[in-house]
Amino acid sequence: MNIITASEVVKDFSGHRALNHVSLEVPDGSIYGLLGPNGAGKTTLLRIINQITAPDEGSILFNGSPIGQAHRSMIGYLPEERGLYKKMKVGEQALYLAQLKGLSRQEAMKRLKIWFHKFEIEAWWNKKVEELSKGMAQKVQFITTVLHEPRLLIFDEPFSGFDPINVNLLKREIIQMKENGATIIFSTHNMASVEELCDHITLINESETVLQGEIAEIRERYRANKYQVTFSGSDERLVSGLDPRFELLGLEENGMGRRAIIRIKSEDSGSGDLIRNLVEITEIKSFQEIIPGMNDIFIQVVNDTVKKKGADHE
């Protein structure tokens, strides 16, 4: 079951197309990463899912039915640009925002006490937001986003502006919420956190979907048949003894000894062939396939689409 199904979503802003036939399916209970360079259209898509703006074409289904007013209280949204009423007191403001999401005052009060205790910020209740530091205000805003225990949480760059300790606190909370059955969509540039948290991703570039799927499957797809070998022995023997089916991409010194990066060029050779060849010419200390990180995939895919567009223009 998909909690969000977006089909062929198009959104135009006076001559500029922010989203061009973007489709995605967010499985219930997953952590879904929405990736893309700045200005790719991520925030527009998130706003459409949040019913802040409506698409020009295409549709959004929430749990199988067209998204509507009733779904507002089932979604929690932390926008990239954080903000609270500066002159309003922290507690009062949290209560107000929770009530707008449909919680009763009593229930909101009860839950806020638990959260304020958990984040150790009870003392801020009667402070005005303008008295808080940026990080403190972000914590308050995070609480107001999740307080009504929505089925779907949408975080736009949730970790920006937090120190590493608080980033870990947030990650723990996000994983906890997933375990409690919530679905999380988050948009980020931070590929390390994508690898750490996400099950699925969609990569948007220049208003279009350029990559989509499960993380493990995508990384499998982008394997480049590269291997990292740590060896002891002379470089010359390695270079001269390497079979033409294999290509030496680099040699370097690391703490354990000499390290070589080798690519298997021919289709019908595998890692076994490479090992057999290496055993003859050097002494292997370690042998490891290089699986591309999301960071590399991101850069590669974005550059490829830019090149492709450039080629189309010519």
Partner 1 sequence: MNKISLIIQREYLTRIRKKSFIIMSVLGPLIFAAYILIPMYFATLEDKEVKTLAVIDESKLFTEYGPNGPVFVLPGTKTLKFQVVEGVPIETFRDTFEESDYYGVLFIPSNILASETSLIYSTKQVSLEVSEYLERSMDTEIEHLKLEQQNIADIEKILSEVKTSINVRNIKWTKDGKTQESNTGVVMGVGYLGGMMVFFFIFFFGSQVMRGVIEEKVSRIIEVIVSSVKPFQLMMGKIIGVGLTGLTQFLIWMALSFMLVTGLKAAFFPELNRTPTEQVISSDLFEKGTSGQDQLQGSTQTEPDDTSDVVQEIFGSLKTINAGVMIGSFLFYFIFGYLLYAAMFAVIGSAVDNETDTQQLIFPVILPLILGIYVMISAINNPDNGLSFWFSIIPFTSPVVMMVRIPFGVPWWQMALSGSLLVATFLGMTWVAGKVYRTGILMYGKKNSYKEIWKWLRYSS
Q: Which CB sits closer to partner 1, 42 or 47?
A: 47
Q: How far apart are CB 74 and partner 1 at their closest, in Å?
A: 11
Looking at residue 72, the DSSP 8-state letter turns out to be: G
In 119-163, which residue ranges form alpha helices assigned H by DSSP? 134-146
Q: Does 54 bind partner 1 (CB under 8 A)?
A: yes
Q: Cα separation of 151 and 286, whole Å?
A: 46
Q: Which CB sits closer to partner 1, 42 or 258?
A: 42
Q: Does 69 bind partner 1 (CB under 8 A)?
A: yes
Q: Residue 165 half-sphere exposure, CB side, CA atoms within 13 Å?
A: 3
How many Cβ atoms are within 10 Å of 233's Cβ, its own excluded? 16
Residue span binding partner 1 (CB under 8 A) among the ranges 73-81, 115-123, 176-184, 185-193: 73-81
Angle at the Cα of 45 (from 43 to 48), degrees rounded to 5?
Answer: 110
Q: Cα separation of 253 and 260, whole Å?
A: 9
**Residue list 76-95, contact with partner 1 (CB under 8 A):** 77-79, 81-88
Q: Does 225 bind partner 1 (CB under 8 A)?
A: no
Q: How far apart are CB 154 and partner 1 at their closest, in Å?
A: 8
Q: Residue 278 half-sphere exposure, CB side, CA atoms within 13 Å?
A: 28
Q: Cα separation of 37 and 299, whole Å?
A: 9
Binds partner 1 by CB under 8 A, chosen from 17, 72, 219, 259: 72
Reduced to 3 states, what is the DSSP secondary structure of residue 68? coil
Residue span binding partner 1 (CB under 8 A) among the ranges 45-53, 170-178, 218-226, 291-299: 45-53
- Count of residues that bind partner 1 according to CB under 8 A: 32
How many Cβ atoms are within 10 Å of 228's Cβ, its own excluded? 16
Q: What mask of x and - would describe binding to partner 1 in positions 93 to 132, judged by CB under 8 A?
A: ---xx-xxx-------------------------------
Residue span binding partner 1 (CB under 8 A) among the ranges 51-59, 180-188, 232-240, 259-267: 51-59
Q: Which CB sits closer to partner 1, 63 or 212?
A: 63
Q: Cα separation of 156 and 186, whole Å?
A: 6
Helices and strands, counts by H and E, the chain: 10, 14
Residue span binding partner 1 (CB under 8 A) among the ranges 53-61, 191-199, 253-261, 271-279: 53-61
Q: What mask of x and - would describe binding to partner 1 in positions 141 to 160, judged by CB under 8 A?
A: x--xx---------------
Cα-based distances in Å from 165 to 168, 177, 314: 5, 19, 49
Note the residues at the interface with partner 1 (CB under 8 A): 13-14, 47, 50-54, 56, 69, 72-73, 75, 77-79, 81-88, 96-97, 99-101, 141, 144-145
